[in-house]
A and B are shown apart, each in its own frame.
Chain A
Amino acid sequence: MTDADKSTDNTTLLASLGRLAPQLKPIFAPLIWGLLSALAASVVALLIPQVYRVLVNSALQPGNGTKGLWTGAAVVLGLGILEAGLIALRRQFVIVPATTVETRMRTSFYRHLQSLAVEFHDRWGSGQLLSRAMSDLNFMRRWMAFGAIMLVVTALTVVIGVALMLSMSWELGLIFVAAAVPIVVFGYRFRRSYGLVSRRSQDQAGDLATAVEESVHGIRVLKAFGRGREALDSFAGQAQELQATEIHKAKSLAVFSLVVTLLPELALGAGLVVGILLVSQARLDVGALVAFFATAAVVAGPVESMGPLMAMTLAAKTAVDRHFEVMDAPNTITDPAEPVRLGPVRGDLEFRGVHFHYPDTPAGTPELLNGIDLVLRAGETMALVGVTGSGKSTLLNLVPRLFDATAGAVLLDGTDIRRLALADLRRHVSVAFEDTTLFSNSVRGNVLLGAAEHPGLSPDEILEQALEVAQAGFAYALPNGVDTLIGEEGLSLSGGQRQRIALARAIAARPAVLVLDDPLSALDVNTEERVSDGLRAALVGTTTLIVAHRPSTVAMADRVALLQDGHITAVGTHSELLAGNDHYRYVLASLSEEPKDLDSDLDTDTENELADELGAAPRGTGPLDVVHRGATA
């Protein structure tokens, strides 16, 4: 699944949980109050039997008045109410602060994720992130509000109980304490093994969420190929792995619980025999023996609950580790320490010696972008042409800093874009990608998303203009017009419709630099032509870098840059390149100059037919249609 680097955590329990300390600091007081309430509730519960003792010894002698009884019952009632009140109070103290911490951690987790670079998100599945944002933090809150407090209360109860037992009979007490030694040793091993499984199970649960997410996002493909069965099998396989891990985890806990309950009980068994022998030798009185075992009975409950509480604590550690693993991921694309503020942006865009390779590219492979030098004059429209996979989209991604160049620089008006504040840069630069993401919002909301202030225009007019240029007038005919909810939670639009809305969004932003990644790919020819015309008019004064696969898109550009083997190998007008550059002709026209695919000689027929057809085409009337290279010789 996701190869998110799940570093096997070597951090110790305390170090991990210690990372929570800054989060807990503001709620430290209520947590202590909660702890005290829990302790007080236990003490009150222990007090009630004392009242019985007093009553039995004094008031409840036949013939006595009822006053003492009334008082006694009232005290018992009062203590009972107090106990219930203290239990309620513990929750009151702890719940709200704990959920506040949880929510704060959740929202900062989300903020951090949003700030992390695209490169991070490429590696991590959303499901895996979701499980960290939801179940891990839920678990952490429950541990804070319940587990941690009960662990302290339980431990204290055991310690006090054992101290009492030692004071009653040191021999018997020592036997009981002796049992603690193997428990500690075993507990250490348990901590390691359980920590590992709990980590594995939480990771697997996250991967399972990713699998669900993919199965839903890829539903069309699965349906189109009828691969529901295979998807189910692979999901079931993953779910079974999780099941096996969970059962392994439960077994590990079961063994620990077995040891934790068995050893003290064995010690008590030994204690019983020894105690009876001691009494028979008159080295101990019966009362002390009875009291010893009565106390042991009180201690038994807490000892038993140590197992689950330890397990909960270890799982909380895992949750903390998983949380901070993401929180510690460095943001590779950040605002500069002292951002430069550009005045009015002209829109000069320059790539200077830009190199780029994806972070996990193995050494030795040539860089995807290997020294790009390209200058776009302010207001100019430049088409970027290259074969599939030549790095055109990657180059575009560098402009709004979705990725950073690994060497060299991108400059806006002569300033390295890394010296600008990200928000400023992305205000100056607007994009429309080929795979269009619309947000769950109205058409209006989507288009006006990053819209700049347009002096003298109301938002409705901006919207209208943008939709007009993008030929997205269909939006007015949607059920609720431009207020129709679209995006994932709304009406589903066709590919071409989505593209036009996304284009309108980029236009409405009125950026200084517009970056378009094959924005017309899903449009039919007529619409494309109208959009191109509109764009040409709207883009006057906007520096535009546009990835083009078709001559029709190139026609919008003032100049064309050819991307080949990681370099810009030619820049010129369409007609210049068409006339003088073989590779350009290969990419954009129907001429073939590069070595063909091995078996492409099989389809020379088609090739020729295509060429014939193109050769027979009537001359276009477009401004760039100067040189028309016809059929193969």
Chain B
Amino acid sequence: MMTRPQTDFTAAEAAMTDTAEPILDLRTLSKTFGEVKALNGVDLKVQPGEFVTVVGPSGCGKSTLFNIVSGLEEPDSGSVLRFEGRSVMARDLLGKVSFMPQRDLLLAWRNVIDNAILPLEIEGANRAEARREAERMLPEFGLAGFAKQYPHELSGGMRQRVALMRTFMFKRDLMLLDEPFGALDALTRAMMQRWLLDVWSEHRRTVLFITHDVDEAIFLGDRVLVMTARPGAIKLERKVDLPRPRGADLVTSPEFIALKRDLLDAIEEESMKTFGPNAH
């Protein structure tokens, strides 16, 4: 099981992909902004409950990909976007996918609880009920006792946890996390990664996670996708057959390092296209 190459299509896997309809299915997804082609034929399937991480050189269109899947941007015509087994327009996904952008984007005039329940409020949920539910979730997000604090009174790591809590409270099967830990220091980041895995195994959502950190991508993901330099496409896809729950010592295991080397090689190759002599 551990050594099975990705291309080896076993019967078991075939059965799995047939029975379990992918929650998200992108085919030849492209996006052009004026003259610039940001995405060029992205093919991507995400199974329910899966944790998929996406790495790639900067400017490879990762964020564009997320903007499309969260419904903020329409892809070029000819792109196929399927969600929960149905072909949809990107804008149909507004309110269907829980999206966490890079910055926490907390509202300064709302305290921790009221920031967390923002998506529920927009859904039209009962505010008092939503507050009670958020209150119950605080300890799990390491925010016990901070219900009434305002964003300017919180540290960067705590603000990020509030933003994550807001994302989790917006109960959608698919979660998009766009470099949520990018702005944190290394120690806080490592703690947040382990914590995110705990929370994820509790709630069992499907996660699509963007990062530029290969370690993070392997540590968190069931599957790692490497994107090409712009125009972005999926260059490489590797299954991460490392046991869960994953501990901090995992990153020094031979399997982890071998996988990391492969992925780094692929990213390096793509980065050279952007920065190398033949870059256009």
| Binding partners A and B | no
